Amino acid sequence: MTSSDPQDTAANLHFTGTTPYEDYVRASELSSLQEPLSEDPGEMAFLVTTQVMELWFRVIVHEWETAARALREDDLPVAMAALKRSTYELQSLNASWEPLAHLTPAQFNAFRSALGDASGFQSAMHRRLEFLLGDKSAAMLVPHQGAPQIHAELEKALYAPSLYDEVLRHLARRGHEIPVTVLGRDVSERYAADPAVEAVWERIYAGDQGSEECRLGEALTEVAELVWRWRNDHLVATRRAMGAKVGTGGSPGVAWLEKRATKHVFPELWTARSRV
């Protein structure tokens, strides 16, 4: 990062084509992707904010895939670094709600019809993020049947171990008593809490607080808390903008978001705390 004033630097100001910054960031391409469908000036903020969220989904998926791959190789430093980066990115993702969090029903209704049947639950990148968290559902591939490449990417993610699956396999290789039924479970199914896994985390948290396993647990807990905050902020913003009405695309809207906000990812990391 350097000064934005070229007079303060010895920056080169002469280029034969577009600037190297443009070539790398493709800023003009990004700025051409906003095409509001209504005359309401508030739609631009909604559209840009949603696109920014998609970009954050993309980088967080990259971080968690990096962490999962590192855990498969028992490379804990690389996994921990990726998890740490993702917490900063999750904080930025959650802050993205701010431009939308105070929409009144009248303000949202001014451009809501432009969305048509579009709904956030149709986001393929967010679905990949949820799959990495262990919230798997083959039914969520159905909306993407008309887009073969996206469908194939989601199907691959569905049948790949989640981040938490890789965590538990890593713990098992380190000698922790993860049940065979958990290690050999159908990873295309939603992860369900297991008392024996809870007992493993209980022992880890009751032991050396500086151990690698304890630090891994805390990194995952930080991720889980920020995911919960994302879900809760989504719920509050939606409730303020549209109350209990049916969501766009026929989704249940607030009722569905309320259920999501009560669920924690990496569940045994939370329940084990009551037993330490």
Annotated binding site for substrate: 112, 248
Question: Annotated binding residues for heme, as ranges?
Answer: 234
Q: Are 111 and 46 in contact (CB under 8 A)?
A: yes
Packing angle of the helix pair 212-242, 76-95 (nearest 10 deg): 20
Question: Annotated binding residues, as ranges?
Answer: 112, 234, 248
Q: How far is CA 169 from CA 86, 176, 234, in A?
A: 21, 9, 32
Q: What span, in angstroms and rounded, lies between the C-alpha atoms of 14 and 126?
A: 41
Residues 6+ apart with CB under 8 A from 171: 178, 200, 213
Q: How far is CA 8 from CA 15, 22, 268, in A?
A: 19, 21, 54
Can you list the positions of beta strands (E) in 88-232? none
Q: What is the DSSP letter of 246?
A: P
273 burial level (CB within 10 Å; 0-12, 13-18, 19+): middle
Complete DSSP assignment for 77-91: HHHHHHHHHHHHHHH
Residues 6+ apart with CB under 8 A from 107: 42, 241
Q: What span, in angstroms and rounded, lies between the C-alpha atoms of 61 and 105?
A: 32
Q: What span, in angstroms and rounded, lies between the C-alpha atoms of 22 and 6?
A: 16
